Amino acid sequence: MTMDRAQLKLTALAVLRGIAPEVEPGDIEPATPLRQQVDLDSMDWLNFLIGLHQRLGVNIPEADYARLVTLDNVLDYLQARLP
Amino acid sequence: MIEFKLPSLGADMDQGKLLQWHVQPGDSVKRGQVIAVVDTSKAAVDVECWDDGTVHQLIVLPGETVPVGTVLATLLAPGEAAPAATGGPAVLATTGPEPAKPAAATPVAAAAVAAPTRPPVSPSARKRAQELGVAVEALQGTGAQGAITLADVEAAASRSAATAPLDRAQAMRRAIAAAMSRSKREIPHYYLSETIPMARALAWLQQRNEDLPITERILPAVLQLKAVALALRRVPQLNGYYRNEAFEAVDAVHTGVAIALRGGGLVAPALHDVGTKPLVQLMRELADLVQRARAGSLRSSEMSDPTLTVTNLGDQGVETVFGVIYPPQVAIVGFGSVAVRPWVEGGELRAVPLLTASLAADHRVTDGHQGALFLAELRELLQAPEKLEAA
């Protein structure tokens, strides 16, 4: 699959909006912790990662959760692991 | 004849608005089947039927608001023959004192009286009306000779959908206030809290989740819910209802899970039989419950039968929750965040992940002694997480 970063970002934001419909994609600061910007509890966060896994086929081991804080973190992580 | 009544879907509900029927007269229904959708001040709830039978008559029609206990429909028990036609008004008298909207005030009678001059309804409009739960006879047709068209039906459905959420936030706030005022007025609360070391539980969970695909991993919240259910076996006086000046213990643990809704408010629907389900199943059911609570598609049994509530505010980073009991329950357990703090164990000071669990309980049923036993049991269970896995 070829997917550039812009497409990846659209996908990630679409998954996020599925969980938090009130999110305005343009308002998300890519370098600020996501959970500071969007009211996500641990169930929401897990569902966000599950959504990314299902859409993109990227495995996200639990040990890596701590590295996924900002939208940029998430995109870097996914980009390096796209199948 | 079986009367299908509007059930109470929580202490804060005294009336409900019928949104939609999923059945029509002549349909056979099974116990547990969702047959109607009712809007409470908190959410639209799928209402289940409590008997097997055949739908005889739908008495309350979509759009009507009626008090709890109102007969919504009548069912024929299996093998029961339909009675000879009886007067609609006699049945309608049971719809209670709540004045309904004029258009829908006497649906059965209106339908019967209007029958000879009923405006024509196009087949597609009738079909769509059934799908959308719109009372087609109550509409003003805009087609030829006042015919009710597909567009009329869809306009009516979107009108009721558009007006529903407008004051939802305010109605929910009022409903929560009513239930919590009643709780504070009637229930002599006492409060206890206990600090629980979580190192073992978290290490066990981490190891368990390590090799599993993301869809089978378990959150610490599920471990906590299971531990609460098992701790209640030691102190069953915290699990049940206080009604008519007496405590009614309940054997099964149906844990009310406080779920914050996006845009404000909360609901606390039941996760059923928590004490007897494996963790992986509880995780799946919890995820489903949270998702449905936020989408507004809870079932009546989930709204009406929690035996104790658990509220978890740990994700917001608070240390301790002081809960308000949800009547007629007699206890609420609160969890704060798990945070690494100083802790002395075996005479040594260490940095350990700690969780504060709190209990608010009803002094009419238990005393602090029993509450303390419960929290001690909860603490011990979370030190042996492998015991929480199985049923």
Q: Smallest Cβ distance to A43: which of B210, B263, B290?
A: B290
Q: What is the pLDDT of residue B161?
A: 54
Q: What is the CA radius of gyration of chain B?
A: 25
Q: Tell me which chain A residue has its CA closest to the CA of residue B210.
A: A62
Q: Which residue of A has its CA nearest to B212?
A: A61
Q: How far apart are CA A50 and CA A36, in angstroms?
A: 20
Closest CA to B175 of B346, B312, B42: B42
Q: What's the burial of B352, exposed, middle or buried (CB within 10 Å: 0-12/13-18/19+)?
A: middle
H helix intervals, B218-349: 220-231, 279-295, 300-304
B379 neighbors B223 (Cβ within 8 angstroms):
no
Distance CA B156, CA B144 (A): 18
Tokens of B310: 């658990």
Residue A62 Cα, gap to closest chain B Cα (Å): 6
Burial B201-220 (b: 16+ CB within 10 A, else e): bbebbeebbeeeebeebbbb
Task: Encode pLDDT of B95-154 as tens digits.
Answer: 444 444 444 433 443 333 333 456 677 777 777 777 776 777 677 777 777 777 777 777
Tell me whether the omega of the peptide bond preceding residue B328 falls within 30 degrees of 0, making it cis: yes
* Whole-number pLDDT of residue B88: 41
CB contacts, 8 Å: A39 with chain B = 262
- Minimal CA separation from A13 to chain B, in Å: 17
Scanning B343-383, the segments in alpha helix (DSSP H) are 368-383
CA angle B324-B326-B330, nearest 5°?
90
Considering only CA atoms, which of A54, A41, A63 is closest in space to residue A14?
A54
DSSP conformation class of B98: P
Please name each of the domains of chain B with its CATH number: 2-117 (2.40.50.100), 184-389 (3.30.559.10)
* Domains (range + CATH), chain A: 5-81 (1.10.1200.10)
- So what's the ipTM on this one? 0.85
- Nearest 10 degrees: CA dihedral of B310, B311, B314, B319? -100
**Lowest mean pLDDT across A66-75, B96-105, B334-343:** B96-105
Percent of chain B that is helix, strand, coil (3-state, to 5): 40, 25, 35
At residue B164, the pLDDT reads 52
A2 touches chain B (CB under 8 A): no
Do strands B246-249 and B240-243 pair parallel, antiparallel, or not at all (unpaired)? antiparallel
- Looking at residue B112, what is its pLDDT? 39
Structure tokens at B183: 């709780």
Contacts (Cβ under 8 Å, ≥6 apart) of B17: B38, B39, B63, B64, B65, B66
pLDDT tens figures, B77-102:
888 887 765 544 434 434 444 444 44
User: A64 Cβ partners below 8 Å, 6+ apart?
Assistant: A77
Inter-chain contact B315–A42, Cβ cutoff 8 Å?
A: yes
